[in-house]
Structure 1
Amino acid sequence: MVTRRTQGQPQPPSRLGEHLCRTYADDQERAQQVSALVRDGLARGQRVLYYADTQPTERVADQLRAEVAEAGAALERGQLSVESTADGFLRRLPFDPDLMIARLRDSCQEAVSQGWAGLRVIGEMDWSTRQVPGADRLLEYELRLDAEVLEDLPVTGICLYSHHAVTRAPAALAAAAHLDGADPADSAVTRYAAGGTQRARAGLAALPLRPGSGVRLVGSADLDSRTALAAVLTAATRMPASVVDVDLRDVDYVDAAGTAVLADTAAVLAGQGRRLVLHHAPPSLGRVAEMFPDECRDLEMTA
Structure 2
Amino acid sequence: MNKQKQFSVCGESLSAPMHICGFFDSREQQYEVIIPYILEGLNANDKVINILEGNRHGEHCRCLAENGISIAEKLSSGQLEVLASEDTYIKDGEFAAEKMYNMLEKNLLSAARGGYDSVRACGDMVWALKNLPGTDELLEYEASLNFLTPKHSCSLICMYDVSSFSQSALRDILLTHPYVIKNGKITKNLNYMEPLDFISSVSDFRSSSLKS
TM-score (norm 2): 0.75
- Work out the CA distance in 1 between the residues paired with 2:130 and 2:203: 23
- Work out the CA distance in 2 between the residues paired with 1:28 and 1:121: 19
Three-state SS of the structure 2 residue aligned to 1:164 is coil
Amino acid at match of 2:49: L
1:207 maps onto 2:193 in alignment: yes
1:160 maps onto 2:162 in alignment: no
RMSD: 2.8
1:120 maps onto 2:120 in alignment: yes
Q: Identity over aligned residues, as a percent? A: 19
Which runs of no fewer than 5 residues in structure 2 stay unpaired? Answer: 5-14, 181-186, 206-212
Amino acid at match of 1:58: G
2:53–2:84: 8 Å Cα contact kept in structure 1? Answer: yes
2:21–2:158: 8 Å Cα contact kept in structure 1? Answer: yes
1:47 maps onto 2:47 in alignment: yes
Asked which structure has the greater RCO (Cα within 8 Å, sep 6+), the reply is: 2
Three-state SS of the structure 1 residue aligned to 2:151 is coil
- Work out the CA distance in 2 between the residues paired with 1:216 and 1:91: 24
CA 71–207 in structure 1, closer or farther in 2 if over 3 Å, else same: farther
Which runs of no fewer than 5 residues in structure 1 stay unpaired? Answer: 1-13, 190-205, 218-228, 236-303
What pairs with 1:176-215 in structure 2 (closer than 5 Å)? 176-180=175-179, 186-187=188-189, 189=191, 207-209=193-195, 213-215=196-198
Amino acid at match of 1:152: K
1:144–1:208: 8 Å Cα contact kept in structure 2? Answer: no
2:162–2:170: 8 Å Cα contact kept in structure 1? Answer: no
CA 153–92 in structure 1, closer or farther in 2 if over 3 Å, else same: farther
CA 178–68 in structure 1, closer or farther in 2 if over 3 Å, else same: farther
Three-state SS of the structure 1 residue aligned to 2:22 is strand
1:51–1:124: 8 Å Cα contact kept in structure 2? Answer: yes
Aligned match of 2:107: 107
Q: Give 1:113 shift.
A: 0.8
2:140–2:199: 8 Å Cα contact kept in structure 1? Answer: no
Q: Find the structure with the greater CA-based Rg.
A: 1
Aligned match of 1:174: 173
Runs of 4+ residues deviating >6 angstroms: none
CA shift digits 1:8-33 (9 cap, x unpaired): xxxxxx99621011121112212222
- Work out the CA distance in 2 between the residues paired with 1:99 and 1:169: 26
- Work out the CA distance in 1 between the residues paired with 2:80 and 2:190: 27
Aligned match of 1:59: 59
TM-score (norm 1): 0.54
CA shift digits 1:276-298 (9 cap, x unpaired): xxxxxxxxxxxxxxxxxxxxxxx
- Work out the CA distance in 1 between the residues paired with 2:49 and 2:162: 23
1:65–1:72: 8 Å Cα contact kept in structure 2? Answer: no
- Work out the CA distance in 1 between the residues paired with 2:71 and 2:46: 13
Aligned match of 1:143: 143
1:135–1:170: 8 Å Cα contact kept in structure 2? Answer: no
